[in-house]
């Protein structure tokens, strides 16, 4: 197969299909959960459930912010998790090529980063992802909570970061188009995979944390 044919396929029909499935899949799961609702509860709320839901969503990420928690007890989770999310989200939106893609999809012009920042974010995200994966595999408690889904997702994201890094840094000669196509193919797979995996936590996180806050508000307890 000619590399340009493959390149046109992954950036054209496959990407369009993946994006459609992504938006449809995320909406399907979100609205399914919302429409299923909760069993009827006739008890009068003891607090303000909706206020507590919003409060929980806002302050949850900062709840463990103590020196010991961040730098000692759960250092890998906190520092690795922070660097990974910062890198991955920053790269997803603000790499010049990606920003132009987002402009095409959602119509909003995003600012772009110079290559130096892109490189720093990629190295930190990739390093953090490796550390977090090893931590998952070695920590006795996390090991029990981790399934094939997590390992596959981590591998997929790591490959995307790595091929993206090469696409930005590598003067790979004639093979460059295969590399770029591979980066986009893996990204297409990730877009397809997100709605049906735990990677969809970027939407459902807010739903579940909000529910916990709502529940606490209903019972009139703090969290």
Partner 1 sequence: MHSLYEIFKRNGYTRRDFLRYVALLVSAVGFPPSFLPNAVKALESKPKPVVIWLEFQDCAGCSESFIRSTSLLPADVLLDYLSLEYHETLMAPSGLQAEEAKREAIERYKGEYILIVEGSVSPKYKGVYCTIGGKSNEEILKEASKHARLIIAVGSCACWGGIPHAEPNPTGAMPISEILKDKKVVHIPGCPPIGDVMVATIVGFVMTGREPALDNLGRPKTFYGQTIHDRCYRRPFYNAGKFASSFEDEGAKKGYCLYKLGCKGPITRNACATVRWNGGLSFPIQSGHPCFGCSEPDFWDRSFLYSPLSVVEGGFGWKKVLAGIAVGSALGLGSAYINKKLRGVK
Tokens 């739903």 label which residue? 207
d(CA 16, CA 57): 32
**Residue indicated by tokens 């974010």:** 121
Q: Does residue number 88 form part of the binding site for partner 1 (CB under 8 A)?
A: no
Q: How far is the CB of 21 from partner 1 (least distance, A)?
A: 8
Q: Does 32 bind partner 1 (CB under 8 A)?
A: yes
Report which of 75, 221, 85 is spatially closest to residue 139, judged by C-alpha positions: 75
Please report how close the Cβ of residue 16 comes to partner 1 at its closest, in angstroms.
6
Percentage helix, strand, coil, to 5, in the chain? 80, 0, 20
- Nearer Cβ to partner 1 (44/104): 104
Nearest alpha-carbon partner for 133 in 80, 202, 89: 80
For 201, the token pair is 């936590």
In degrees, rounded to 5, the angle at the alpha carbon of residue 167 between the alpha carbons of residues 163 and 173 is 115
Q: Which of 47, 96, 189, 212 binds partner 1 (CB under 8 A)?
A: 96
The CA distance from 72 to 74, in Å, is 6
Interface segment toward partner 1; rule CB under 8 A; list 42-50, 103-111, 152-160, 203-211: 103-111
Q: Report, in Å, the least distance between residue 19 CB and partner 1.
A: 6
Question: Taking CB under 8 A as the rule, does residue 27 contact partner 1?
Answer: yes
Q: How far is the CB of 10 from partner 1 (least distance, A)?
A: 10
Report the residue number, 34 or 145, with the smaller CB distance to partner 1. 34
For residues 131 to 170, the per-residue mask of contacts with partner 1, x marking binding by CB under 8 A and - elsewhere, is ----------------------------------------
In whole angstroms, the minimum distance from the beta carbon of 149 to partner 1 comes to 21
Q: Residue 161 CB, nearest distance to partner 1 (Å)?
A: 17
Q: Which of 54, 75, 177, 212 binds partner 1 (CB under 8 A)?
A: 177
The number of beta carbons lying within 10 Å of the beta carbon of residue 74 is 15
CA distances from 204 to 84, 98, 100, 208, 214 (A): 19, 24, 27, 6, 15
H-helix or E-strand spanning residue 29: helix 13-36
- Of positions 89, 100, 134, 137, contacts partner 1 by CB under 8 A: 100
- With residue 217 as reference, give the H or E element that holds it: helix 201-219
Q: Residues interacting with partner 1, by CB under 8 A?
A: 2-5, 7-8, 11-12, 15-16, 19-36, 39, 96-98, 100-101, 103-107, 112-116, 171-174, 176-177, 180
């Amino acid at each position: 197969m000619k590399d340009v044919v493959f390149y046109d396929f992954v950036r054209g029909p496959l990407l369009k299909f993946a994006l459609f499935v992504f938006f449809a899949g995320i909406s399907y799961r979100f609205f399914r959960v919302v429409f299923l609702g909760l069993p009827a509860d006739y008890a009068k709320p003891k607090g303000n459930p909706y206020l507590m839901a919003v409060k929980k969503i806002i302050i949850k990420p900062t709840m463990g912010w103590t020196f010991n928690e961040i730098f000692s007890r759960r250092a890998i989770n906190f520092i690795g998790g922070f660097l990974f999310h910062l890198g991955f989200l920053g790269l997803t939106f603000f790499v010049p090529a990606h920003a132009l893609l987002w402009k095409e999809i959602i119509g909003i012009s995003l600012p772009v980063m110079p290559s130096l920042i892109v490189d720093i974010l990629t190295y930190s995200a990739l390093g953090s992802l490796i550390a977090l994966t090893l931590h998952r595999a070695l920590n006795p408690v996390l090991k029990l909570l981790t399934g094939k889904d997590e390992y596959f997702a981590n591998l997929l994201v790591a490959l995307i970061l790595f091929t993206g890094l090469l696409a930005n840094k590598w003067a790979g000669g004639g093979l460059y188009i295969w590399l770029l196509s591979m980066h986009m193919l893996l990204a297409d797979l990730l877009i397809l995979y997100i709605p049906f995996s735990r990677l969809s936590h970027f939407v459902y996180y807010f739903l579940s944390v909000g529910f916990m806050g709502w529940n606490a508000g209903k019972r009139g307890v703090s969290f």
